[in-house]
Amino acid sequence: MPAFAPSLPLHVAAAAATAVASQGRKTTSASWRRSAAVPVDMAAVSSSTLSKLAPLEAILFDIDGTLCDSDPIHFCAFRELLQQVGFNNGVPITEEFYSANISGGHNDDLARALFPHLDHDKAMKFMDDKEALFRKLAPEQLKAVEGLHDLCRWIEDHKLKRAAVTNAPRSNAELMLSLLGLTDFFPVLVIGSECDRAKPFPDPYLKALELIDASPDHTFIFEDSASGVRAGVAANVPVVGLTTRNPEKVLQDAGASLLLKDFQDPKLLSILEEIEPKVAVEKV
């Protein structure tokens, strides 16, 4: 680990000190889809934008917090290593601080925000160490968001285009897709740091649309962070927000068109029936 001065001045330390600590079923695509018959008050959700996407052509996915509930692993890695280097005078960060200041951020931006007075190369070394710890912890702790694999089968049955789009380092992204059994499911993986600008800028999503040859008029995005939602909105693609960890208001304020608990949420099933491709599904 690089050496960090415990007294390093940080513009976020006060927020960390005052924050209060908080606390798969396998089915066929057809049976998953039939559960859409559950009554839903669609007037209660902002789905009009999604309704205009018919016929649906493509779906883009964030990875961390969207495909899998990885934030608890990232939080533990950040908390342990930040405490080791004396961040906030050694007081452990809280989940609220992590959600408000770290979740969904790009490592280059986080290095500058967390360590504004430290040499950037040293700050990035900290981020690299944190990612290494995440990869060490992930194999035993990473779990898919509920309903993910059923949704993936539905997408395959309907021959939809898809891509994974993330601010995570490529090594992390490839590991998570492998652990979830989705390496072959995504023909395209876009990494924020490999674009001109990472999320919250639209570049990663615009690159994904180009690579899979999909129209933003018939595509939507799954995201779980304000940064990711803003990136999708900036790319002029509707965003469905998953409330895996971040507060609903945060995602709404960022511009999410619809909020879901997970991929089994009846709201999702209903909107997919409305905008699904108007082609016959092949019978096996």
**DSSP 8-class letter at 144:** B
Domain ranges of the chain: 51-67+145-274, 71-140
Is 119 in the active site?
A: no
pLDDT recorded at residue 103: 86
Predicted confidence (pLDDT) at residue 63 exceeds the cutoff of 60: yes
d(CA 252, CA 151): 23
Tens digits of per-residue pLDDT, 147-182?
Answer: 999 999 999 999 999 999 999 999 999 999 999 999
pLDDT recorded at residue 278: 64
Is 62 in the active site?
A: yes
Q: What tokens does 152 get?
A: 């993936």
d(CA 14, CA 49): 40
Catalytic residue (one of 62, 203, 224, 265)? 62
Tens digits of per-residue pLDDT, 175-228?
Answer: 999 999 999 999 999 999 999 999 999 999 999 999 999 999 999 999 999 999
Domain 51-67+145-274, CATH: 3.40.50.1000
d(CA 205, CA 211): 10
- Cα torsion through 245, 152, 267, 27, rounded to 10: -110
Catalytic residue (one of 41, 64, 71, 184)? 64
Predicted confidence (pLDDT) at residue 3 exceeds the cutoff of 50: no
Phi and psi at 28, nearest 5°, equal: -80, 160
d(CA 83, CA 158): 48
Angle separating helix axes 226-234 and 203-212, nearest 10 degrees: 60
pLDDT recorded at residue 104: 82
Predicted confidence (pLDDT) at residue 125 exceeds the cutoff of 50: yes
Tens digits of per-residue pLDDT, 76-112?
Answer: 999 999 999 999 999 999 999 998 899 888 899 999 9
pLDDT recorded at residue 261: 95
